[in-house]
Amino acid sequence: MKKSKTFILLKGLAALIMLLMITIELPGQTPAQNLVKRDYKIKKGQTILNLPVNASDRSLRATIRLDGKPLDTFTINLATDKPDYWTFFDVSAYQGKTLTIEIENAPQGFQGQTPGTETNVNLPPLNAKGLDMIFADTKFPGQDSLYKERDRPQVHFSAQRGWINDPNGLIYANGEYHLFFQHNPYGWPWGNMHWGHAVSRDLIHWQQLNEALFPVIQENVTGRGDAAFSGSAVVDPLNTAGFRKNGVDPIIAVYTSTGRGECLQISYDNGRTFIDYEGNPILKHNGRDPKVFWYAPGKHWVMVVWSSGMPKKLSSGDEVSIREHSIYTSPDLKTWTYQSGIPGFFECPELFELPVEGEPGNSKWLMYDAHGRYIVGDFDGKLFTIEQHFTKYENGGGYFYASQTFNDTPDGRRIQIGWGRNITHPGMPFNQAQLFPTELKLRKTMDGYRLCPTPIKEISSLHKNQQVLENKVILSGESAQIETNADNAIHVIAEFERGDAPITLNILGYELRHDNEWIFTTTAPDDGSKKTEAPAGPFPPPTASAPVIYVPGVDILKIEAIVDKNILEFFVNDGELYYVTAFNGKKTGQVTASVVANRNQRGPNRKFNIIKLEVHELNSIWEP
């Protein structure tokens, strides 16, 4: 049948319209349906832009823009129906302005650490329903129950929302202790590395502030994705860097910008906001995690940083690549010179001096890494001379990691905070926690120098409902018990006098055993209540539980423990043994000291003496 000219013309117009729809970007999406945008007008008084999260939804890459300029880029499991929880972006500085959020598909497994370095291949069409759920307000859904969630640690710092790992930039400045930390503010797993920020005036009660450091976004630069990895913070009262402005010596963050190298960011408002130093990067090398401090005798700055590949020539002329903690110096924080290195370490270096207990006028330098392995010796500002080789001061199965100490504490104490690695919180809107602050001391023992952490003295400010047993002899088959509230965090301080019976201390169901040969073991209760879930990230899971540890042979055994939700830290003999573990089993509500005879120690008259058994319930650090 012969078609009319009108029909042919209409068919042609329809084809042209179809072609235009395919080849021309329509409002809010690209031809491939892989980019969708929404605008959000931030009204006066609105401070938070709320983002719905559901772990079962696909990971998307989001960019928040103001007038086309990116403010943050991250991956997020943007909910398409019912959110598991809500996270948020601070918009208090953008009231009266319009923000744009773009979302696009992110490849499976991509966690936002290097945006721009991958391609989207064979991905399904983009589901943009989550954009319609985003809204601005003065608070976020769930804020009313903040810090009261079922599994929220009550004496260990955790973020309001999202994953945390390494503590960063620990410093005392202008009357505040600053705790910066690796933070994914947009989700439960590792990724999107920012520096979160919290402050405290007593090292106990923390107030979380807005994000401090953001990934540096370099659009249209292939292979230059960025994340704000670990580092430290300093104040420069001598103004060696020339950053003083209007009489203010800023807080200076020295950190690994993964797309650039070691970099500086500068804050003139006590860490609330930072600006990027225009001379970045200050150091380029294969590695990360700079710890920086002022070395007064040499009148220069010291940076100890992990190097994943320091070139070295063998006597044969062959070149090899060495992993080490590298030492650099600088007169002004800007120009750095390599001085020396110590091989054998991995990540998150620390370097500091401590007095030796009981030896007035004698002090030693220590260097350690993320695992808590340390060396002891002398340091002249450029070269570390080793006196005692690798020793561990944390003897658990890998739950302690990436600790850092505070710069510039007002009383000279060496205060440390570590990360409770892979002690997870499935089903919660937050994940991981920082360990309780400890004071480090150096002690000379029969086994050499020991780095000894103990809970900071400020823990006593949290004590309530104290119960004490004193001077009680325990015979074979007997026990002494204190009842406590298993829902509360507790602080246990026990001192035992050695007898001829093995000592068993059961803390809410977690058992510690010390036999007559001074071998120390621990046993966790069966976990029938919670599922252990390993989060995505570059961190291997802990490798051991119930370790067998040799304790120095002394007549008085002291055990101090902090128990919180699913975290247990204990300190033996004032920190000569330190151990961190997850505690996911059901808690019993009792602290019990008993004699459980083994096959080599039978008989009715075996005994030891309880000098003191104290159990303190602890107030929450989230309460005023």
pLDDT digits (tens, 9 = 90+) for 435-490: 999 999 999 998 899 999 999 999 999 999 999 999 999 998 899 999 999 999 99
Q: How confident is the model at residue 112 (pLDDT cuts 50, 70, 90)?
A: very low
Taking the alpha carbons of 256, 260, 264, 265 in that order, is the dihedral positive or negative? Answer: negative
Cis omega before residue 453 (within 30°)?
A: no
d(CA 534, CA 555): 41
pLDDT digits (tens, 9 = 90+) for 257-286: 999 999 999 999 999 999 999 999 999 999
- Which active-site residues does the annotation give? 166
Is residue 563 scored above 60 in pLDDT? yes
Mean pLDDT, the chain, rounded, equals 88
Is residue 32 scored above 90 in pLDDT? no
Q: What pLDDT is recorded for position 396?
A: 81
**What is the percent of the chain with per-residue pLDDT over 90, rounded to a whole number?**
73
The CA-atom distances, in angstroms, between 98 and each of 67, 102, 186, 322, 433 are 8, 13, 21, 50, 35
Q: How confident is the model at residue 500 (pLDDT cuts 50, 70, 90)?
A: confident
What are the φ/ψ torsions at residue 171 (nearest 5 degrees)?
-160, 150
- Secondary structure element (H or E) that encloses residue 21, with its range: helix 5-23
**What are 29's two structure tokens?**
């999406």
Q: How confident is the model at residue 1 (pLDDT cuts 50, 70, 90)?
A: very low
The CA-atom distances, in angstroms, between 586 and each of 424, 450, 545, 589 are 16, 34, 17, 9
d(CA 559, CA 551): 12
Is residue 532 scored above 80 in pLDDT? no
Q: Using the structure block, give the residue that is written with the tokens 């130093």.
A: 277
Length of the chain: 624
Over residues 92-101, the mean pLDDT reads 97
Cβ 70 vs Cβ 63: under 8 Å: yes
Over residues 314-334, the mean pLDDT reads 94
Q: Which has the minimum average pLDDT: 5-14, 133-142, 417-426?
A: 5-14
d(CA 336, CA 459): 40
Q: How confident is the model at residue 553 (pLDDT cuts 50, 70, 90)?
A: low
Q: pTM for the whole thing?
A: 0.90
What are the φ/ψ torsions at residue 11 (nearest 5 degrees)?
-65, -40
pLDDT digits (tens, 9 = 90+) for 281-316: 999 999 999 999 999 999 999 999 999 988 888 899
* Higher local confidence (pLDDT), 560 or 598: 560
Q: What pLDDT is recorded for position 221?
A: 60
**What are 185's two structure tokens?**
């503010």
